[in-house]
Amino acid sequence: MAEAETDARRLATEARDRVRFEEEVLGLADQVYRVARRLVPSREEAEDLVQETYARAFRSWRSYTPGTNLRAWLMRILTNLNIDRGRREQRSPVMQPMEEGDYFLYNRLEESSGPDDEERIVERLSQDSIVDALSNVPHDFRDVIVLVDIGDFSYQEAAQILDVPIGTVMSRLHRGRRILKGQLAEAAVGEES
Amino acid sequence: MTQFDPICEKCEELIQPYLDRELSETERVEAEGHLAGCGYCNTRYRFEVSLRRYVRQACCSEEMSPELKARLASLRTPLA
């Protein structure tokens, strides 16, 4: 009798924890989608990826340790699924004039417009050209940019999610942002002509 | 094209981790001191801030569809 009661209590606690977990996970859906949408090329693929991520998260909820970073836990499922399915498109590495590096975009924009208010210069770029430029960054670099700049993850969290050392996150971020700026500079020139 | 030369060597190594809030307290104070005194870095810093904001805005403009939201909710474990 006492045993049956203990069992019932245990089940009730588990059901309550599970409901709470599922609600928290669903509450993060918008953020998860925003990251997914920039990791894959189309809306449909992003939707599939998010749906698979949620199906797996709900199935394996016991492997989540309460009190740890749920957002990072979810994102790790998502990035692993994305890699496993080989769904990410491989693009040829983008060659950029690296020696001009980080100064390239600013100078290019400033050159075409003359000295301007820094806040206004970027508005010369269309939103579509920014989305295209990001999608042209090779995926290893793009993953890190998306996690840090769009997902608001720290370097450490991004390292855990992608299962790489933090130094790799930093170097990919550095290189990736350069490539992105190179792409944006090309787009800026294209939009002028 | 001489303007491509970094005018301040410290610029990139400071600005990116500073914006990412990844500097230690000491480094942060050092970075802020430098930004306050270096016109070049300050201009570049403001550019980076607005660029990041703009990229983020462009890349987050597409909201999740209500249909997907409903599908996700339907994946929940049915209550016994």
With respect to residue A29, please indicate whether it lies within any of the assigned structural domains. Answer: yes
Q: What is the pLDDT of residue B3?
A: 40
With respect to residue A94, please indicate whether it lies within any of the assigned structural domains. Answer: no
The verdict on A79 and A109 lying in the same domain is no
| Whether residue B8 has pLDDT greater than 60 | yes
The verdict on A111 and A53 lying in the same domain is no
Q: What is the CATH number of the domain that holds A22?
A: 1.10.1740.10
Q: What is the pLDDT of residue A99?
A: 47
Higher local confidence (pLDDT), A107 or A91: A107
Q: What is the pLDDT of residue A1?
A: 58
**Chain B CA closest to residue A131:** B59
- Contacts with B51 from chain A: Cβ below 8 Å: 105, 122, 181
Instruction: Give residue-wise pLDDT tens across range B47-80.
Output: 888 888 888 888 888 899 999 999 999 999 876 5
Q: Which of A84, A115, A136 is a domain's end point?
A: A84
What's the CA gap between A57 and B56, in Å, rounded? 27
- A131 CB within 8 Å of a chain B CB: yes
Range of the domain at A168: 101-192
The verdict on A78 and A105 lying in the same domain is no
- A174 CB within 8 Å of a chain B CB: yes
What's the CA gap between B30 and A98, in Å, rounded? 27
What's the CA gap between B44 and B15, in Å, rounded? 8
With respect to residue B2, please indicate whether it lies within any of the assigned structural domains. Answer: no
Asked if the Cβ–Cβ distance from A50 to B77 is below 8 Å, we say: no
Range of the domain at B64: 7-74
The verdict on A117 and A175 lying in the same domain is yes
Asked if the Cβ–Cβ distance from B4 to A107 is below 8 Å, we say: yes
Task: Tally the domains of chain B.
Answer: 1
Interface predicted TM-score (ipTM) of this complex, two decimals: 0.81
CB-based contacts of A65, cutoff 8 Å, min separation 6: none
With respect to residue B79, please indicate whether it lies within any of the assigned structural domains. Answer: no
Higher local confidence (pLDDT), B45 or A169: A169
Indicate if the alpha-carbon torsion angle A48, A75, A27, A56 is positive or negative.
Answer: positive
The verdict on A80 and A115 lying in the same domain is no
State the nearest Cα–Cα gap between A2 and chain B, in angstroms. Answer: 22
Q: What is the pLDDT of residue A98?
A: 46
Q: Which long-range contacts (CB under 8 A, 24 or more apart) does A20-24 make?
A: A21/A61, A21/A64, A21/A66, A22/A58, A22/A61, A22/B76, A22/B77, A24/A70
With respect to residue A90, please indicate whether it lies within any of the assigned structural domains. Answer: no
Q: What is the pLDDT of residue A97?
A: 46
- Between the two ends of chain B, the Cα-to-Cα distance in Å is 70
Asked if the Cβ–Cβ distance from A127 to B61 is below 8 Å, we say: yes
The verdict on A45 and A116 lying in the same domain is no
What's the CA gap between B43 and B37, in Å, rounded? 11
